Structure 1
Amino acid sequence: MEKMNSVWPQELCDPSGRRQAKPRTKGCTMVIDKGLGLHAFTDLLSTSGEYIDIVKFGFGTAPLYPLAIIRSKIKLAKEHGITVIPGGTLLEAAVKQDLVHGFFRQVMSLGFTGVEVSDGTIELSRSLRSDLIRNAASLGLRVFTEYGKKLFGSRINVFDFASTAETDWACGAEFVTVEARESGKGVGLFDEHGSFRDGELSHIQSAVPNLDCVLWEAPLKDQQVSLIQAFGPHVHLGNIPTQDVITLETMRRGLRSDTFDLQRVSVTEYMI
């Protein structure tokens, strides 16, 4: 368990008693950065850096930053023990433009420590998907793959997801992410209101054996609560908005009413 601010009793910092210190293997939080400036990014890490495990520069935003800014952001993230990756859409664009080699060259030059391999917008053959995973892993990058299409109304094929995940892990992927976009609505597990589609989560639970290596995109609070209730505080969650990092951490620790029952029962008995 991580050492918290000594001003507060340890039990109040983590009433669940289950949060790991970084580098975490359980309960990782991936944050989506949609274009924060350097000062805002610095503020984010100074307040919430301890609770962030992965920062993704969303979509294809990475090439649009001034080089000095993106280098500074990557350096800051690494100083806080955070894996930093470009969005999977950028690699999809590199595939479409036949610029995969240039993509990886720049990823390494800038100091990124991971990549996301996805096919949310393009069609990616199984052989090319496997090659991209192996190539990234051979460069020493952490590999996060993504399953699902970004098209509104797209659904999860549970058995295809299970098969894809198994092959991705065998090729060197660390986590397989379930697509939900940054909106959390009308894609994958979620309907147009952002609610879980009936039965889909339980179907995945029964079909996928290694859920410890699944990261669930869940940008909305009710989605996060439902996944924590289903899998516990150790569930890996992604596409968390930057302003919601500490809020999510309170839910993981039982410091918010939605997950208050995660708290351990105190051994102290109070006499009235």
Structure 2
Amino acid sequence: MVGAGPSFLTLPERPAKPRSRGLTHVLDKGYCLDRVESVLRVYSDWIDVWKFGWGTAYVEPALAEKVRLLRDRQIKPCTGGTLLEIAWLQDRIAEFFEFATWAGFECVEVSRGSTDLPRGAKAEIIARAKALGFEVFAEVGRKDPSELVSADEWIAELQADLDAGATWIVAEGRESGTVGLYDANGLVRESLLARLDSSAASPCIIYEAPQRSQQAYLLRRLGPDANLGNIALEDVMGLETLRRGLRSDTIGIGNLLEASGRAR
């Protein structure tokens, strides 16, 4: 666990776990159990949600051990949305929920970024997941870079997802950070971000931000308590330093330099 550490700098305060803001949502691409154990032994205070990417949960040899370890560290294990979409394609939604319950998942991601799952069917799955006791992370956006969904469509879908029972909205960015919220060069679609940030759902949105430049941009734009997702395990400490203004990209985040009279 993370110790108290030094306290001589004025930095943004981080809320304690369990947090409702400033979430760090990790993407598990297939990390071995030994690595997960060693990292969580030191850095678990900085991680809130652990998503088993795409369909990795289905083939993970150490699934039960990982899920138990995560829950012991107050980290929410979550299935990947693609796994559920495949279950929907094969008419195996009931079996999917049985699997998620058996494995000990507290959360499921419900998406439609890889298939033609209708919005109405998505809402039904969200409601079903909530009724079964799962915390729902509903993803909005498409994985195909040629399918640019308008801001109006994003807002309409995320509101429908919340109405159906989702707790969190995940803004699509993929592992690459070149789709959904971002253009092909990994740059934020600012007009879309502005609509999301100004919406009533803003506190519930987790922005996928796999690239460091995207993490820094969103923290500068939204503040140190922005909810960020699809973070690689090796980037957890780097993100924490960005949140606290301990990296050149975010020095003075939250106007702390101005408040201390040391603005330059």
TM > 0.5 fold call: yes
What per-residue deviation string (whole Å, max 9, x for no partner) do you get for residues 142-193 of structure 1?
10000111112332311111111111112111111111110002x1121222
Consecutive aligned runs of 4 or more in structure 1 exceeding 6 Å deviation? 266-270
Letter in 2 for 1:217: E
1:51 to 46, 61, 65: 46
Give yes or no for contact 2:2–2:42 (8 Å, CA) kept in 1: no
CA distance in 2, matches of 1:265, 1:181: 34
1:26 matched to which residue of 2?
21
Match for residue 199 of structure 1 among 176, 183, 191: 191
| Maintained 8 Å contact 2:12/2:224 | no
Correspondence for 2:182 among 180, 185, 190: 190
Aligned to 1:10: 7
The unaligned stretches of length 5 or more in structure 2 are none
Compare 120-129 and 56-65 and name the one that shifted more: 120-129
Unpaired runs of at least 5, structure 1: none
Give the number of aligned pairs: 261
Q: Distance in 2 between matches of 1:156 and 1:205?
A: 17
1:179–1:217 contact (8 Å) kept in structure 2: yes
CA RMSD of aligned residues (A): 2.1
**2:78/2:106 contact within 8 Å kept:** yes
Aligned-pair CA distance for 1:11 = 4.4
**2:2–2:45 contact (8 Å) kept in structure 1:** no
Structure 1's 31 and 137: CA in aligned 2 closer, same or farther, altered over 3 A?
A: same
In the superposition, the TM-score normalised over structure 2's length comes to: 0.92
Question: Does structure 2 conserve the Cα–Cα contact (< 8 Å) formed by 1:254 and 1:262?
Answer: yes
Which residues in structure 2 correspond to 1:79-118 (within 5 Å)? 79-118=72-111
Alignment of 1:52-67 (within 5 A): 52-66=47-61
Cα contact 1:156–1:189 (8 A) shared by 2: no
Deviations 1:203-257 (A, max 9, x none): 4334x22211111110000101111011101111000011000100111111112
1:239 equivalenced with 2:195 (yes/no): no
Q: Secondary structure at the match of 2:251?
A: helix
